[in-house]
Amino acid sequence: MTPEPEVEYASITRIDGKHYYIDGVHTVVGEIPMPTPCDLLEAQMIVAESYPEQITLNFDVINNSEFCAQQITPQRYKIEGTASSEATFSAVFKGRQVELNLIPAAEGELPEDFEVFIKG
């Protein structure tokens, strides 16, 4: 019997983000607590050609260090894409589906004003 492969970043099962929809552009900003300061977050938005569009927030990690302190370090992300207001969202982290918690931005709030007030 083969042992279960260890899941990288198994602690990341949910991604929180603030969602803005301004002039046809979806912007999602947030922070993900990474296990080390050497884990650099990459994020992209993939918009499937359907109606309503299905948007996948795809997250990956680059870490080229041999040794790094095990210290939880928040990594911020900001991703944008054009789609209709009816688009649906999902998230993938390093190839596996994770829960996505989108918080709608308040009227008049802009992505540039983003501060993280989300407590895990």
Question: For the chain, how many residues are written?
Answer: 120
Question: What is the distance between the terminal CA atoms of the chain, rounded to a whole angstrom?
Answer: 37
Query: Residue 113: helix, strand or coil by DSSP?
Result: helix
Q: 63: number of CA atoms within 13 Å, CB side?
A: 18
**pLDDT per residue over 25-69, tens digit each?**
999 999 999 999 999 999 999 999 999 999 999 999 999 888 899
The pLDDT, as a whole number, for residue 5 is 62
- The model's pTM: 0.87
Residues in Cβ contact with 84 at an 8 Å cutoff, skipping those fewer than 6 apart: 24, 51, 52, 53
